[in-house]
Amino acid sequence: MMHTTVGIVGGGPAGLLLARLLHNAGIDSVVLELRDRAYVEQRQRAGILEQATVEALRAAGAGERMDAEGIPHHGIELRFGRRSHRLDFPSLTGGRSVMVYAQTEVVKDLIALQLADGGPLLFGAEVTSVEGAQSDSPVVEFVQEGRAQTLTCDYVVGCDGFHGVTRDAVPEDVRTTYERTHPYSWLGVLAEAPPVYDELVYAHSDRGFALASMRSPTVSRLYLQVPNGTDPADWSAERIWDELDTRLALDRDPGWKLERGPVTSKAVLPMRSHVTEPMRYGRVFLAGDAAHIVPPTGAKGLNLAAADVIVLARALARWRETGSAELLDAYSDTCLRRVWRAEHFSSFMTATLHTDPAQSPFDTRLQLSQLERIATSPHAAAELAENYTGLPLPR
């Protein structure tokens, strides 16, 4: 049996960032991660970091390689009606921007710090239950290398994702679930090819949505809207590139084509929205995907998870320093205000840029009208830019 102040279930970016913030505040923790280190460091997810996330990583001591290798982005390009319009983030938000730095690299940096001088980080630890949420010492049962073990904690934080077990510590008659399933998916592609543009391109077309992103100056991350149930094997590299050329086409440059390269991975990503309330029950807290899922269109998933653990780390530091649980008691309400704004923004971006299989020509004209307003109204453009770069974290 082990004991720690904070038991963290899940060694993804949220759990690892929380562990690092707690370490810097002098609070001990143990991180339990189901997968092995190699799997965690190769798990492909988001790559857009809001300014607040970037600042939190720097404060946690994980900013050196990000600042050297990350790609600052000061805007995005919207393409619709075969025309393009760029949104300049700093001029619209008072100086804010975002950083392109893959989640795989964030995780590698945080793991290296945790193993160097942090608390225990246990890979291959399968958490089977979280019990005693309403007691003074909740218990985490887990199995590692075939041996059943017990971790007692002052607090437990579930950073174990949508399919994790921590959410089950909140009784069904206590929690409320809000969710939406979208009628399309994304085909995500990683390719050894230079990026389309030096910033992200979000494209609305009558054939569906497309997104041209990047991982580095030589590696592109590309997405195509596809029907639910699509098999990635049905999409050859040639078909992927041809469809991207079509959806990203511009009237001003009719001969323009993407620079092609080998497709190194492809996968279909379902689009869903999900929120669990409350995000705290007794001494068990939920953070990141364990509490909420957003469609990837707004680039909010990783950033929402980071915001959750930043708020929680501050609350735990206040409790440690003063004995006051005031911020801990406010955790769920504080985070949910930001969560629902991010859900709204992600839903707006998704509905505006995607072509629903059942939508009418009238609906399409409404989408184009909205995009035209963003392109011509500083107020509409600022609203998008402020949400994309990230709303301020609560004090």
The backbone region for 190, taken as left when phi is positive above 0, alpha when psi lies in -120 to 50, beta otherwise, is: beta
Helices assigned H by DSSP within the chain: 13-24, 37-42, 51-59, 64-69, 89-93, 103-117, 237-247, 301-322, 326-329, 331-353, 361-376, 378-389
Annotation says 101 is catalytic: no
Annotation says 73 is catalytic: yes
The alpha carbon of residue 262 and the mean position of all alpha carbons in its chain are separated, in whole angstroms, by 26
- Which residue among the candidates 23, 155, 296, 331 is catalytic per the annotation? 296
Angstrom distance (rounded) from CA 253 to CA 78: 16
Annotation says 23 is catalytic: no
Angstrom distance (rounded) from CA 240 to CA 268: 13
Rounded-to-5 percentages of helix, strand, coil across the chain: 40, 30, 30
What is the DSSP pairing of strand 200-203 with strand 210-216? antiparallel
Q: Which residue matches tokens 């086409």?
A: 249
- Which residue among the candidates 155, 202, 223, 331 is catalytic per the annotation? 202
Cis peptide before 195 (omega within 30 of 0): no
Whole-number Cα distances in Å, 54 to 75, 197, 214, 292, 352: 16, 22, 18, 21, 28
Annotation says 266 is catalytic: no
Annotation says 388 is catalytic: yes
| Number of CB atoms found within 10 A of residue 173's CB | 6
- Which residue among the candidates 23, 73, 292, 354 is catalytic per the annotation? 73
The sign of the CA dihedral 225, 254, 217, 192 is positive
Burial of residue 321, with CB atoms counted within 10 A of its CB: 0-12 exposed, 13-18 middle, 19 or more buried: exposed
Q: Which two tokens stand for residue 177?
A: 């679930």
- Which residue among the candidates 101, 300, 331, 354 is catalytic per the annotation? 300
Angstrom distance (rounded) from CA 153 to CA 106: 27
Burial of residue 231, with CB atoms counted within 10 A of its CB: 0-12 exposed, 13-18 middle, 19 or more buried: exposed
Question: Which positions are annotated as active-site residues?
Answer: 73, 202, 296, 300, 388
